[in-house]
Amino acid sequence: MDFDYNIVWKNCLNIIQDNLGNSQSFKTWFEPIKPIKLENNVLTIQVPSQFFYEWLEEHYIGLLKKTIKKELGINGRLEYSIIMDNSNFGNEPFTIKVPTSNKKATQNQAVNMPLDINNNSSKEIPNPFIIPGLKKIKVNSQLIDHYSFESFVEGDCNRLARSAGYAVAENPGKTAFNPLLIYSSVGLGKTHLAHAIGIQVKNNFPEKTVLYVSTEQFIQQYIESIRNNNHNDFIHFYQMMDVLILDDIQFLAGKEKTQDVFFHIFNYLHQRGKQIIITSDKAPVEMNGMEPRLISRFKWGLSADLQIPNIETRIAILQKRLYNDGIEMPSEVIEYLAYSITNNVRELEGALISLLAQSSLNNKIITLDLARQMIDKFVKNTSREISIDFIQKIVCDYFNISVDKIASKTRKRDVVQARQMAMYFSKKLTKSSLASIGNQCGNKDHATVLHACKTVSNLIDTDKSYKIYVAELEKKFNL
Ligand code: ADP
Ligand code: MG
C-alpha cells in the first residue's frame, strides 16, 4: 500500500490543478506539498510551515475538502504534518488533524493551547484547529476594558508613546513602530496604554487575534509547556497572533531559554508583518541580562517613554477618574492630591481611593481637612515629602496671587514676599538643596534662597503681622 498515497495525492493535484489552472497559486501552495501516508482513509500531507498550513486553511479549504471527498469518499480525511521551521524546538513534525468531515472533530485534540482560548460560544469545539474552514481561533485577549484610550489622559509626559500607540492600533504591523516599546518607571501608565492599543485594534479589526500577556505569565506558560512536553503548542499558539502585547519584558532578564523562545516568536511574527508591543521599566540600552540580539530587535521599531505627568495632567487624571466613576469632589481637594503626590500615577489614584473609602466608611464629607489627614498618613507611609509646587500653591493662594508670579521677574512687594516665603517653607519642609529650590522659584541662585530664608526668620522676630502670616501658613502645612 506504500505507493497508494502518492497516487492519491497525484490524483488530488490533478483535480486541484483543474480548478486553479497552471497558476502561480498552484505552484506556490500545492507543488511544495508532500504526501506522507494514507491510513484508514486519512491522507497525511506535509507542509513547510505553520503559516503555509494556515494559508491553505484560509484560502483552499473548500477545494481541499471537495478534492478529498472525490478521491477518498465521504469518510476521507486530510491531516497536515508541519515541518517545524525552527530546529531548536525539537525535530518531530507537528501534526494537525483536519478531517474533511467535521462531525467528530471535537474528539481529535491535536493542539493544547496554553491559554484558555475558548469563549462560551465555541465550548463544544475545544480545538478549533481541527475544524476545516474555521479561519481564526478564538483567543481570550486578556484585555481590561477600562484601560482604554478614552480613559488614558494625554499630556506632555506621554504624547509620543500615546500617538505611536494610536497609530499602531489604526494600522497594526504596518507602521514603522514595530515593535513598539513603551518604557517608564512604575505606575506611569505602561500597562494601561498597552491595553488601550489592544482594545483599539479589536475595535478597528474585530477579526484580528490580539493577546495581552504579562511576561511573568509568558514565562510560566513556557515552563509548564516544557514540563508537559508540549512546547510546540506553546510556540504555535503565540505564532498565531496578529498583535502580541508582552508587558514588563524586564522579567525576561537572565532567563536565557525563555528569551530564546521569545526571540523566535518575535522573528516569526515580525517577518509576517504582525504587530508586537512590549513594555519595560528601562530603555533598551539599559536592559541588563537581556540577549544582545533581542535588544537589537527591540531597536528596530520605536522606543517611547512615559514621563512623570506635570501638575495639570495629574489633575486631569484625577478629574477623569472621578468623572468616570460619577463622583464629585471639591476642586481644592483634587488639587491638593495632585500637588502632594507627584511621581506615580498609581499612588495618586491610590490616595484618591483611600480618601473615597475613608469618607464613605466614616460617613464624612470630603473636605480639604480630611484629605490632609489622609495624605499625611499616606505620605508618611510612602515616605514622600511635600513638593515645592505644593508649597508655592499654598503660599500664593494665601496671598491671593497667581502661582506663575513666583517664577516671574517681578519685584513687586507682595510677590517678593510670597516668593521668599515659598523659599523659606521649601527649605524647611523639603530635602531639596538651596540651588534646586532657587531653580524652581524663579530661577534664582542658592545665595538668593539663603538670603530669603534669613529675611523671613528676621521678620518673624521683628514684625508682628508677618509672624501671623507665617503661623497661619504653618497651619495650612499642618505644622
Ligand atoms: P505601569 O504599567 O507603568 O506600572 P499602569 O499602567 O499600571 O502603570 O498605571 C497605573 C495606574 O495609573 C493605572 O490605574 C492607570 O490607569 C493610571 N494611569 C497612568 N497613566 C494614566 C493616564 N495618562 N491617564 C489615566 N490614567 C493613567
Ligand atoms: Mg505595568
Q: What is the DSSP string of 111-143?
A: ---SS----GGGTT-S-GGGSTT----------
Mean per-residue pLDDT, 344-348? 92
Biggest CA-to-CA distance, the chain: 113
Verify whether ligand 1 is closer than 6 Å to residue 260 (CB atom): no
pLDDT at 121: 35
Angle at 79 between CA 75 and CA 83, to 5 degrees: 170
* Spatial distance between the Cα atoms of 413 and 398, rounded to a whole number of angstroms: 15
Q: Which atom of ligand 1 is nearest to the CA of 309?
A: 23
Residue with the larger pLDDT of the pair 125 and 450? 450
pLDDT at 382: 53
CB contact at 8 A, 170 and 221: no
Same domain? 189 vs 270: yes
Tally of structural domains, the chain: 3
pLDDT at 47: 83
pLDDT at 166: 96
Residue whose CA is at the smallest distance from ligand 1 atom 21: 189
List the grid coordinates of 435. Answer: 540651588
Verify whether ligand 1 is closer than 6 Å to residue 184 (CB atom): yes
Residue whose cell numbers read 518673624: 460
- Specify if 333 maps to a domain: yes
Q: Where are the beta strands (DSSP E) in 129-258?
A: 180-183, 210-214, 243-247
Same domain? 323 vs 222: no
CATH number reported for the structural domain that contains residue 422 in this entry: 1.10.1750.10
DSSP lists the bridge partners of residue 44 as: 37, 79
Mean pLDDT of the chain: 84
Same domain? 318 vs 263: no
CATH number reported for the structural domain that contains residue 249 in this entry: 3.40.50.300
pLDDT at 479: 66
Verify whether ligand 1 is closer than 6 Å to residue 186 (CB atom): yes
- Statement: residue 150 has pLDDT above 90: yes
CA–centroid distance, residue 385 to ligand 1 (Å) = 22
Verify whether ligand 1 is closer than 6 Å to residue 301 (CB atom): no
pLDDT at 95: 44
Same domain? 292 vs 326: no
- Specify if 132 maps to a domain: no
Domain boundary among 107, 139, 168: 107
pLDDT at 3: 57
Residue 79 is inside which H or E element, if any? Answer: strand 77-82
Same domain? 267 vs 296: yes
Count of beta carbons in the 10 Å neighbourhood of residue 176: 11
Verify whether ligand 1 is closer than 6 Å to residue 350 (CB atom): no
Verify whether ligand 1 is closer than 6 Å to residue 345 (CB atom): yes
CB contact at 8 A, 477 and 394: yes
- Specify if 125 maps to a domain: no
Same domain? 347 vs 456: yes
CB contact at 8 A, 373 and 362: no
| pLDDT tens-digit map of 440-460 | 898 899 999 999 999 999 999
pLDDT at 31: 85
Same domain? 177 vs 258: yes
List the grid coordinates of 175. Answer: 507602521
- Statement: residue 462 has pLDDT above 90: yes
Q: How confident is the model at residue 215 (pLDDT cuts 50, 70, 90)?
A: very high
Ranges 209-218, 400-409, 456-465, 470-479: which has the least confidence: 470-479
Mean per-residue pLDDT, 123-146? 58
Please state the length of the chain.
479
CATH number reported for the structural domain that contains residue 63 in this entry: 3.30.300.180
Ranges 19-33, 145-159, 378-392: which has the least confidence: 378-392
Same domain? 336 vs 381: yes
Q: Which atom of ligand 1 is nearest to the CA of 348?
A: 12
Verify whether ligand 1 is closer than 6 Å to residue 351 (CB atom): no
* Spatial distance between the Cα atoms of 230 and 77, rounded to a whole number of angstroms: 25
pLDDT at 176: 92
- Specify if 135 maps to a domain: no
pTM: 0.60
- Specify if 32 maps to a domain: yes
Query: For residue 193, which ligand has an atom nearest its CA?
Result: 1
Verify whether ligand 1 is closer than 6 Å to residue 346 (CB atom): yes
| pLDDT tens-digit map of 220-276 | 999 999 999 988 889 999 999 999 999 999 999 999 999 999 999 999 999 999 999
- Statement: residue 360 has pLDDT above 50: yes
- Specify if 143 maps to a domain: no
pLDDT above 90 covers a percentage of the chain that reads 54
Q: Which atom of ligand 1 is nearest to the CA of 185?
A: 3
CA–centroid distance, residue 404 to ligand 2 (Å) = 34
| pLDDT tens-digit map of 267-316 | 999 999 999 999 999 899 888 889 999 999 999 999 999 999 999 999 99
Which of 145, 152, 192 to mutate to test ligand 1, by most ligand atoms within 8 A of the CB atom? 192
pLDDT at 384: 52
CA–centroid distance, residue 148 to ligand 2 (Å) = 14
- Specify if 22 maps to a domain: yes
Tell me if residue 235 falls in helix, strand or coil: helix
Mean per-residue pLDDT, 72-89? 69
CA–centroid distance, residue 189 to ligand 1 (Å) = 3
Count of beta carbons in the 10 Å neighbourhood of residue 45: 21
Domain boundary among 242, 273, 305: 305
Mean per-residue pLDDT, 88-106? 38
Same domain? 224 vs 357: no
- Specify if 25 maps to a domain: yes
Q: How confident is the model at residue 114 (pLDDT cuts 50, 70, 90)?
A: very low
CA–centroid distance, residue 151 to ligand 2 (Å) = 16
Verify whether ligand 1 is closer than 6 Å to residue 149 (CB atom): no
Sorted by sequence, the CB contacts under 8 Å of residue 207 that are 6+ apart come out as 135, 136
- Statement: residue 22 has pLDDT above 70: no
Same domain? 165 vs 103: no
* Spatial distance between the Cα atoms of 385 and 375, rounded to a whole number of angstroms: 11
pLDDT above 70 covers a percentage of the chain that reads 85
Same domain? 283 vs 364: no
Same domain? 283 vs 336: no
Residue whose cell numbers read 526571540: 263
List the grid coordinates of 266. Answer: 518575535
CA–centroid distance, residue 320 to ligand 2 (Å) = 20
Residue whose CA is at the smallest distance from ligand 1 atom 25: 152
Domain boundary among 305, 331, 365: 305
- Statement: residue 130 has pLDDT above 50: no
In terms of residue numbers, what domain contains 381? Answer: 311-476
